[in-house]
Amino acid sequence: MPPTQPPPDALARWLAAESSGFDDAAEAALAELLVELPRPVPPAGFAERVMAQALPASRRRQLARRTWRWCAALGPAVATATLLLLYPVWLPAVAPAISTLLRAASIARWLKAGIEAVTAAGQGLALLASVADKLLLLFRAVAEPLASPSVAILAGAGLLVSVVALRLLYDLAQRDRRWVHADPI
């Protein structure tokens, strides 16, 4: 018998089992019936199209990963080797520029720049400290009422409700892909 033909008596057995309420027999007969249904076949060349679509992205990712690894491993060595190899070329060009820079600079100017940088950093730190102070004040103001048990209980309950609400929201988002929510037997 060709595989696409449903068994001759499976339908009768299934319908009879359904009518009589024999679940197991009904399941078996229906499975027998359905498994023999002609199974649609994807159009020719489906696997090739999938591979053509899937592989370029994967190859690009692999290539990028490999390139990055090689760059990270060899980059510094190549840069050093290049600098050393081109030493006679770059030193005569760079050395005068560096010496000009050094000649133009004076100790007083370096000192002034250093002091300005330290002052700016100090001001930044002071600003941060004042913000931290205000935050601390805020925390104290919030924490003070929590010292009383009733407020602490209220706050705890609020926190609990928030956690439960978050959990429910998460569940709803997760269930988005379910078809229905039928009552279980």
Partner 1 sequence: MMPTDAELVASALRGSEEAFRELVVRFERPVYALILRMVREPETAEDLAQEVFVKAFRRLSSYDPRRKFASWLFKVAHNATIDHLRRSELDTVPLAAEQEDGEGGLLAVLADAAAESPAAAAERRDMARALERAIAGLRSEYREAVLLRYVEGLAYQEICEVLALPIGTVKTNLHRARKELADAMRAAGWAPAAGRTAPVAETPRGGQP
Question: Which tokens sit at 14?
Answer: 């299934």
Indicate the residue among 53 and 150 with the shorter CB distance to partner 1.
53
Nearer to partner 1, 102 or 173 (CB): 173
Report CA torsion sign: 150, 152, 158, 161.
Answer: negative
Residue 30 half-sphere exposure toward CB, CA atoms < 13 A: 10
DSSP 42: P
Q: Say whether residue 141 binds partner 1 (CB under 8 A).
A: no
**CA-atom Rg of the chain in angstroms:** 38
Task: Decide whether 34 or 151 has the Cβ nearer to partner 1.
Answer: 34
175 counts as binding partner 1 under rule CB under 8 A: yes
Of the candidates 160, 140, 157, the one whose C-alpha atom is nearest the C-alpha of residue 149 is 157
Q: Of the candidates 55, 91, 115, 151, which one interacts with partner 1 according to CB under 8 A?
A: 55
Q: What is the DSSP letter of 1?
A: -
Work out which of 84, 97, 147, 174 binds partner 1, going by CB under 8 A: 174
Question: 């030493």: which residue's tokens?
Answer: 87
The answer to whether 171 contacts partner 1 (rule: CB under 8 A) is: no
DSSP one-letter code for 38 = P
Convert residues 80-119 into a mask of x (bound to partner 1 by CB under 8 A) and - (unbound). Answer: ----------------------------------------
**Cα gap 77→47, rounded to integer Å:** 44
State the minimum distance, in angstroms, from the CB of residue 166 to partner 1: 20
User: Does 62 interact with partner 1 (rule: CB under 8 A)?
Assistant: yes
User: Any contact of residue 37 with partner 1 (CB under 8 A)?
Assistant: yes
- Is the distance from CB of 3 to CB of 36 less than 8 angstroms? yes
In the complex, least distance from residue 168 CB atom to partner 1, rounded to whole angstroms = 16
Backbone phi, psi, residue 54, to 5°: -85, -35
Binding site for partner 1 (CB under 8 A): 2-6, 8-9, 11-12, 14-16, 18-19, 23, 26-27, 30-31, 33-35, 37-43, 46-47, 49-51, 53-55, 57-58, 62, 174-175, 177-185
